[in-house]
Amino acid sequence: MTHSLLHRFSTVLLGAVLISSSVTARPLDEVIAEGTLRVIAYLDNAPFSEEENGVPRGIDVDLAHAIARELGVKAEVILRMQGEKADDDLRANVWRGPLTGGGTGDVMMHVPIDREFALRNREAVLGNAYFQERVAVAIHPELTGTNPNFDVFKTKKIGVQLATVADYFLMTYEDGALISNVSHHVKPELGAREFISKDTAALMGVRSKIESLLHRDGMKPTLVEPPMPGIVRTDWLVGMAWKENSRDLGYAIEAALKRLRETGELSRMFEAHGVTYVPPPPPP
């Protein structure tokens, strides 16, 4: 089925059902007709989205506004807290809405593009990857050396967020050889503080968060990606999700995203927050 056919088909099918509800994910026609794209991003997810004096800000927020502009509409950005798992967030933000009200969005930002994850959440369409997240290590080279491997942390401390893939890698490295030097945090801000004050010699986690948190303190860290034998993920794509019946909206956003990438606007959004833009690799 071509895009335009699909577009017409879904409009006919869904128009009658959805026209009365302003808080349900909608196909492109309705978004255009109303002039507003409803975008849901995370409440506490700097540098991508957070609330500052009651106003949403961050890379995902900037991107939402730029996409809306490309579509000729305004973005209404809603920040919402995260559930236990991203699966819960798709349910709340894309296809069902939270039990406590507030409704779904037309599109949700910051969704991992992962086949298994997509397969168990078929009510949502995942796609439009806009960057690649990578696991990296920020180091104080004077403490770790300029090109360390993980053996260094048998004697030096390294910070990591609890229960992340980086955490599991560190805790199980050489059957627990690093355990006594792993400093855990729940909030990424705490990990950044410990690193800046040199309580830890290194900070392991996702590149974008490390860069932006340290950027806020005027620090441009040395980032390395040493071999991580046995880690279950070193990188993944971050994209968006929309409702299964709003596929045409997804295609329109895809086109908008392509323009933003080509003009360099997308990478500038990242750089404004001190984050190196890593584009998704081209499909094989």
Partner 1 sequence: MKSWKVLIAPSVCAMLAGLAAPALADVSIEDIVNDATTTNDVVTSGLGTQGQRYSPLKTINADNVAQLVPAWAMSLGGEKMRGQQAQALVKDGVLYVTGSYSRMWAVDVKTGRELWQYDHRLPEGILPCCDVVNRGAALINDKVIFGTLDAKLVALNQKTGKVVWTKEIDDYKGGYSYTAAPLIVPSKAHGPIVVTGVSGGEFGIVGRVEARKVDDGELVWSRPTIEGHVGTLNGKPSTMTGKQGETWPGDLWKTGGGATWLGGTYDPETNLIFVGAGNPAPWNSHMRPGDNKWSCSRIAIDPETGNIKWGYQTTPNDGWDYDGVNEVVSFDLNGTKAVATADRNGFFYVLGREDGKFISATPFVEQISWAKEIGKDGRPVFDPANRPGDPKKAADGKKGSSIFAVPSFLGGKNQQPMAYSPDTKLFYVPANEWGMDLHNEPVTYKKGAAYLGAGFTIKPIFEDHIGALKAVDPATGKIVWTYKNRAPLWGGVLTTGSNLVFFGTPEGELKALDATDGKQLWSFNTGSGIVAPPITWEQDGEQYVSVLSGWGGAVPLWGGEVAKTVANLNQGGMLWTFKLPKKLAEAK
The two structure tokens encoding residue 184:
């855990």
171 lies in the site for partner 1, by CB under 8 A: yes
Beta bridge partners of 40: 78, 108
186 lies in the site for partner 1, by CB under 8 A: yes
CB of 164 to partner 1, least distance (A): 6
118 lies in the site for partner 1, by CB under 8 A: no
CB of 159 to partner 1, least distance (A): 10
DSSP 72: T
Which of 144-152, 180-188, 263-271, 273-281 is the region at the interface with partner 1 (rule: CB under 8 A)?
A: 180-188
**Alpha-carbon torsion 121, 128, 227, 207, what sign?**
negative
**Alpha-carbon torsion 120, 7, 264, 188, what sign?**
negative
> Among 115, 146, 197, 262, which residue sits at the site for partner 1 (rule: CB under 8 A)?
115
Which of 10-18, 139-147, 160-168, 210-218 is the region at the interface with partner 1 (rule: CB under 8 A)?
A: 160-168
- Hey, which residues between 29 and 88 contact partner 1 (CB under 8 A)? 42-45, 48, 78-88
Q: Are 210 and 136 in contact (CB under 8 A)?
A: yes
Return the SS3 of 184.
strand
| Pairing mode, strands 124-139 and 202-206 | antiparallel
- Hey, which residues between 204 and 263 contact partner 1 (CB under 8 A)? 206, 230, 232-233, 236, 238
Q: Which residues contact 17 (CB under 8 A, 6 or more apart)?
A: none
Residues that bind partner 1 (CB under 8 A): 42-45, 48, 78-89, 92, 98-102, 110-112, 114-117, 133, 162-165, 167-168, 171-172, 176, 179-187, 206, 230, 232-233, 236, 238
